[in-house]
Amino acid sequence: MSTTYSSNDVLNAIAAASKALSARKEEVNRLNVFPVPDGDTGTNMSLTIESVVSNVARLSIGASGAEIRKAITTGALMGARGNSGVITSQILRGLCEGSAGAEALTTETVAAAFEKAVEVAFQAVRKPVEGTILTVLRDSGAAAVDARKANLSTVDAIECIVAEAYASVQRTPELLPVLKENGVVDAGGFGLAILLDSFAAALLGKDGTMVDELAFARTAAPKVEIEQINDWEGSAYRYCNEFLVDSEVLDPADALEFLATMGDCELCVGSAPKFKVHVHSNHPDQVLAYFLERGQISEVFIHNMQLQSAERTEKLAAEQAAEHKPLGFVAVAAGEGNAEILRSLGVDVVVSGGQTMNPSTKDLLDAVGQVNADAVVILPNNSNIIMAAQSACELSEIPCGVVPTKSVPAAFAAMFAIDPDASLEDNVAEMTEAFAEVRTGEVTCAIKDSKDAHDNPIHEGDVIGIADGAIEAVGSSVEDVVMELLEAMEAEDADTLTLLAGEDMADGDFAALVERIEEAYDDLEIDSHRGEQPLYPIVLSVE
């Protein structure tokens, strides 16, 4: 068996690994210890790898090793979702940095890549925990180093790394007690083992001939995007057409003559087999048809210049009218009710997401770019989004800070602590301190058998109440569980209770719950709203 692998072999193996993890993401999700319907480690990791494949697929054929590594690291970081996705992105970054300058895939270069991946990934996590994806990575890296010391072949080294990854996954319950208690292995570690295994299988040809998935992604169908640009003025035509043509038979002179009959600003540059075409025309269908008869087209952009020109004045006026602020705010929330409340408290952009779908680093970075302010504060409102928010801050050209809120009610408290005259750093500190005393509770349904914080059994379908990360109440009705949860959270000593009704909570049931709480807690000020969050009929906080 040949042990010489091209860049295309490696990229196809990455695509195959992405495909394998996507197919098994629910299997990974089910390993999450918490029995709530938002176990999304597999989903987050698969979305991160899918972003890598998509980004690499946009590279021109024959891209250099440096270009490929940059596409992998950029795609991973911009597509990273949740903690598992961010860590995965850092693993890929380390593998790329560790392989920089390598001319071939060998046992030595693989070991160097893993050594760097371990270094970079562990640096990304402030308090690494044993028995997680980081442990599996470190053990796999150690196997790579051992293979180098033993002078194993590249094939044998890769097989040893995969075997050790799975062995490390099997050991995670012995390192992390919560895994052992629930009879599962670490979800992130298992996801990494799947990636390594499927990558190796594709690279080594264990499952037969690989389909060139990256080439398919490039050429299966032309990508058509219609958007508005600013170059319509001065042209008598409506559409600006731009695309690439792959052809061995296209005559550029004939093509230019044709384009002149279609419109103006015509260009056909390049040489066989790659050409770039540009023309302003009212008939993009005829332009595309001409070139489709002579080759393949890709990267098609059709800009409606007339619409852009008509809306340009209005858009500029709106931008000028928007008040520029010293400090702006981005928050993550699920449910339009929660979003409306956050906007009423001064949040400029609300990114849809939370328990069931973690926004990516790019989503948060794009949101920061929409804020008309000198500096921006991000409120992630979920523990699994904090790392993505921190990555967005590091990448942003606008000064950013993260207030590490883990719930929407915590964000409410943080927003009340804003001082518009203070600096970004001072506001982050004050807002962080403001929500420190807020205790958050969530009510949902268990999706599998488990145990609560006191080792009592939980059955699939039970209503469960979670207080600051611990399952403190179990029952058959939302109302009873809320009351039990309030008792566990010592609501009798609190001053204020905030209640957010989910999309599945009927108005009548919500009103009845509020009335019952008022009867049980005379001195508690209750602030109730429709949050409309999915899967969680009640989210609450006491302070």
For residue 324, the 8-state DSSP code is: P
State the helix-helix crossing angle for 154-175 and 107-124, rounded to 10 degrees: 30
* The pLDDT of residue 207: 59
Q: What is the DSSP letter of 41?
A: H
pLDDT value of position 513 = 96
Q: What would the pLDDT profile of 159-207 be if each residue is shown by its tens digit? A: 999 999 999 999 999 998 888 887 888 999 999 999 999 999 999 887 5
CA distance 197 to 542: 47
User: What are the beta bridge partners of residue 227?
Assistant: 303
pLDDT average per 10 residues of sequence, the chain (543 residues)? 72 93 87 62 90 93 91 86 81 94 90 95 79 95 96 93 93 88 87 94 69 34 37 62 87 90 78 78 95 92 71 54 83 95 95 83 93 95 93 94 95 94 96 93 92 89 92 94 95 94 95 95 93 94 94
Q: What size, in residues, is the chain?
A: 543
What domains lie within the chain, and their CATH numbers? 7-216 (1.25.40.340), 221-310 (3.30.70), 324-434 (3.40.50.510), 439-542 (3.30.1180)
- How many Cβ atoms are within 10 Å of 243's Cβ, its own excluded? 22
pLDDT at 126: 63
**Residue % of the chain over a pLDDT of 90:** 63
Q: What is the pLDDT of residue 35?
A: 59
Q: What is the pLDDT of residue 129?
A: 84
pLDDT at site 322: 60
The pLDDT tens digits of the residues spanning 360-414 come to 999 999 999 999 999 999 999 999 999 999 999 999 999 999 999 999 999 999 9
Instruction: Say how far apart CA 226 and CA 308 lie, in whole Å.
Output: 11
- The first and second tokens of residue 464, run together, are 């469960």
| Model pLDDT for residues 77-88, shown as the tens digit of each residue | 788 776 788 789
Report residue 89 as tokens.
Answer: 């992105």
